[in-house]
A and B are shown apart, each in its own frame.
Chain A
Amino acid sequence: MKKTKRSFFYRARGDSPFKLLLVNLALVVVCLIILWPVLRVVTISLRPLGTLFSTDLRIIPEGATLKAYYRTLFEIDFFNWLKNSLVIAFITAFMGTSLAATSAYAFSRFRFSLKQPGLVFLLVTQMFPAALMLLPLYIMLVRLQLINTYIGLVIAYTSTALPFCIWILKGYYDTIPPDLEESAMVDGATQLQAFYKIILPLSTPALAITFLFSFMTAWSEYLVARVIIQKSSLHTWTIGLYTLQGQYQTEWGTFAAASLLVSLPVVIIFLFTAKYLVSGLTLGAVKG
């Protein structure tokens, strides 16, 4: 074996053109596997009603039409579903982030006797199987007559979102050097002032990411929502979409169009924030 042999695993400064071709080829195959179901949804959303069920594999189908989009936007309850999801996800994210903003700071900067158990507890909540909390919460909500209300679903979501938000925000606070507050406190500020005037403004991006992430988790949730919301006027888009694709087979196109319309903004937000979220992995659960 020659000494100068280039390693396959080496972060190459220069791969041979042939090897680059192979690497790109393999990656293109991977991308096609990822894109395939997405393209299929595009296809189905464009199909005219008569050929919804077809064994054609062309991406732009024959007689492509935007009828399914029209139906999604103007004929079904789409905007009402979006409104319900929006309100619920927004309140959940707001509750989670605002409550976490101060408590995560306490976990990041103070020493107190409940710190270790508290952090372990936060980690443990990320392990709860869905039914563990959902069932008692559901029965509590039944007794409080909060089934079929926004508040009911927000309560259920907040119970999972809050520990997650604290955990993520603590990770971000940890990356801010304590010297910043210390120098402010040398100048006579109290710790609370240092927190509000220095740390909080510095953490705006982190707060935004935490908010966004708990928002999107609540936004795309289905299994909890279907238990707590049964009334059709309160359906979130996930419940609505499920009924669409379950009910009549002719709604397949509408389902595809609605899926794309709902996913597009989420995907765009992810593309711009993914790198912050990935770095949060080692600090806590990212997407559960």
Chain B
Amino acid sequence: MRKSGLAYILLLPAIIVVLFLVIYPFIYGLQISFTNMNMYTVWEPKFIGLLNYQRVLTDKILHAVNYWQLLGRTVVWTGVNVFFHVLIGLCIAILLNRKLKIAPLYRAILILPWAIPDFISCLVWKNEFHMVFGSINIILNRIGLMPIPWLKSYPEAFIAIIITNVWLGFAFMSIVILGGLQSISPEYYEAAQIDGASAWQQFINITLPMLRPVLTPAIVLGSIWTFNKLIVPFIITLGGPAETTHILVTANYSAAFQYYRYGFASAFSMINFLMLLIFALLYMRMTRGAKGVYE
């Protein structure tokens, strides 16, 4: 059972592929980040040391925004999205966690936002935010309110991408949390009721602590995914108007593939990655007590 030689033979094909497709590109990316490579200097980039890193932190990233604005916006983007995913997900899970005749139907519908390709959902939502023909403004118009220029002004556009991403994510979170709720033994609640605990007390003292093993990884993974979720702003607003809905990853993608500043974009992505890594390391430290991640 413990012959490590065989282990390496089993691993060999994957190691070779990972070496060529993950590790080498990563090192190459690191190397690019120290050069002035752009669209015109792809073939003979010059080494410029840490200049790109300095530029990322001090210059404008695209035209209008700088790194620190993007960072702040990304934190808001991630925090607000994950907050609503968990809050709405928790409410739905609690509602679903009882005997309901049509529970399977509810569950099937809850899977939809997760199952429909993100790319399509984003394009559809983009159309629904249309000033005149999008259904949101049509409804606002019918109940006598002013239409909202969803995609044309800030902060409306930022709210629009958050609405879309909340729609994309809350249902999945509710399914995950429901799994956690169902694993809580009813005996705890019975005991609490005998002691006269109120519903709220039971929620705070039983439900929430017992959900921790589910909630902690869900929140951390959810944060990482949301941080990296560039498809939503990219499709719906393309970062606009006037770069007000760019987050770190969309600005990074634009710097690389719309502005063709390869060296700069590489340095930028290294910084973004480092930030996520620190976040993740803190998480691993936090949850070392929770078993099962790597054993």
Contacts and interface: CB of A to CB of B under 8 A. Distances in A.
B19 to A, nearest CB: 11
B68 interface: no
B47 interface: no
Task: Report whether over half of chain B's contact residues are helix, strand or loop; otherwise say mixed.
Answer: helix
A158 B21 contact: yes
B169 to A, nearest CB: 10
A15 B276 CA distance: 44
Contacts of A123: 280
Interface string A72-113: 000000000000000000000001000110110111011111
A220 B119 contact: yes
B236 interface: no
Interface in A189-229: 191-192, 219-223, 227
A15 B21 contact: no
Count class of interface residues, chain B: 35 or more
Contacts, number: 304
B14 A55 contact: no
Interface string A108-147: 0111110110111001111111111111111110110000
B112 interface: yes
A247 interface: no
A271 B123 contact: no
A159 B16 CA distance: 12
Nearest to A4: B193
A100 B276 CA distance: 25
A220 B118 contact: yes
Nearest to A109: B1
Contact of B1 (A36, A158, A178, A278): A178
A9 interface: yes
B100 to A, nearest CB: 7
Contacts of B175: 274, 278
A57 B92 contact: no
B18 A120 contact: no
A131 B252 contact: yes
B133 interface: yes
15 contacts: A9-B189, A9-B207, A30-B106, A103-B14, A119-B294, A131-B252, A131-B268, A132-B270, A133-B22, A136-B32, A140-B25, A191-B1, A223-B234, A242-B123, A262-B120
